A = this chain, B = another copy of it.
Amino acid sequence: MIDNSESKAFVQVFEIPPYRLGKLSGLTFGVKDLIDIEGYKTGGGNPTWENSHPPATCHAICVEQLLSHGAICKGKTTLDELAYSLLGENFFYGTPLNPKAPDRVPGGSSSGSASAVACGQVDFALGTDTGGSVRVPANNCGIVGFRPSHGRISLAGVVPFAPSFDTVGIFAKTEKICADVARVLLANEKKRGALKEVLILRDAFAMSDKEVQAALEPVLKQIRQRYPCREVVLEEIFGQGVTFETLRKIYRTLQWAEVWSSLGAWIEDVRPSFGSLIAANFESAKKCDRTQIADAIQKREEIKNKFNTFLGESSLLCLPTRALLAPKKGSVSIHSPGNHTSTPSFTPLAGLASSPELTLPYGHSQEGVPVGISFLASQGNDELLLQQFEDGFD
């Protein structure tokens, strides 16, 4: 276990005992500081936010569920400012440790929650995932990460960011802990029907970086041995001409629009200080052409319907969590070449489809950098996804 003086994962360490014994008894957890803990200010990773908001009067609903099932809360974890980055480098509070790749970023925005689990400080942690804020740091830190179907875990007591995509997600030390915590938050112990097949999204693997491909090759081999598999390409799901870049643009339009709806009034009113990358992100949200929203929503609905129909109730989709290895610390700035446009981004898919995604830390580059593999189910079929992997993989 690496302690907090080294990991910088927690912004505040304390202990809240559970309400009673339960199926999570003995497990400890951290809470991203975008999720309310009674009596503490929800800081949102930004000093102006913290100073301009009163303390929470109660725990968020998701925290109440965990305390009612026996888990012990160990404190609040750091994040990218107001959740608006996938990097994990906070201008004000620094960069939590990625223990498996200490020269690389932990990923964000739920950076501290991922770091705390990867460092062994807690058994699991709560994050939020709008566009990848659980999946990316889980991938970078080499741990299990789960984004649920949109709407299945309560967002009451969580700062709204882009409500049509916001979810409360989970980081965990093991697949089993992730599944147990997820079942508590999803409030459903029932198993779902059997898995029909795993659909391997061939073009997502093909367009990933060579190191990612190499890292996932042995993982794919194991998957093909364990599950009935079939190769598919993106066009089979969405029709001709729809690429990951198409998905990213639709997602970006809607995320920008919703972020400005959620946070624009506060920003224009208090004029907060932001780190330069975050300031640039909010500037994009502000400048978003809002006459494009209606068309983007229509496209999103088509994507969602096609994706969920394609997967149905018994298939899973398999793809790399990220196309690139985690960037080196300090390597990304507002002056970096636009790697958004040159690198495919897979994370918007689950957001647009409202579907659950589980990232598993089964790949490693030659230098040992973690590489995650992702599985998606159709919206609402979180249980199908969790039960496939809860006993681990080998």
Contact = CB atoms under 8 A, between A and B. Distances in A.
Interface string A17-31: 001100000000000
A64 B187 CA distance: 35
Nearest to A298: B187
A223 to B, nearest CB: 30
A297 B187 CA distance: 6
Contacts of A300: 187
**Count class of interface residues, chain A:** 35 or more
B68 A291 contact: yes
Contacts of A150: 151
A303 to B, nearest CB: 11
Contact of A164 (B53, B59, B156, B257): B156
Total copies of this chain within the assembly: 2
Given A154-B164, A301-B187, A60 B266 contact: no
A181 B294 CA distance: 13
Interface in A217-235: none
Q: Which of A163, A186, A258 is most buried by chain B, counting CB atoms within 10 A of its CB?
A: A163
A173 to B, nearest CB: 22
A54 B163 CA distance: 20
Contacts of A261: 36, 58, 60-61, 156-157
B64 A294 contact: yes
A184 B297 CA distance: 10
Interface string A49-84: 000011111111100110011000000000000000
Contacts of A53: 265
Contacts of A69: 294
Given A64-B290, A68-B293, A154-B163, 8 more contacts: A57-B265, A59-B290, A64-B257, A65-B294, A156-B261, A157-B261, A187-B301, A188-B301
Closest 6 CB pairs of A and B: A68-B294, A54-B269, A57-B264, A157-B261, A156-B258, A156-B261
20 contacts: A19-B291, A54-B269, A57-B260, A57-B265, A58-B257, A60-B261, A61-B164, A61-B258, A61-B261, A64-B293, A65-B294, A68-B294, A150-B151, A151-B354, A154-B163, A154-B258, A156-B160, A156-B262, A187-B294, A187-B297
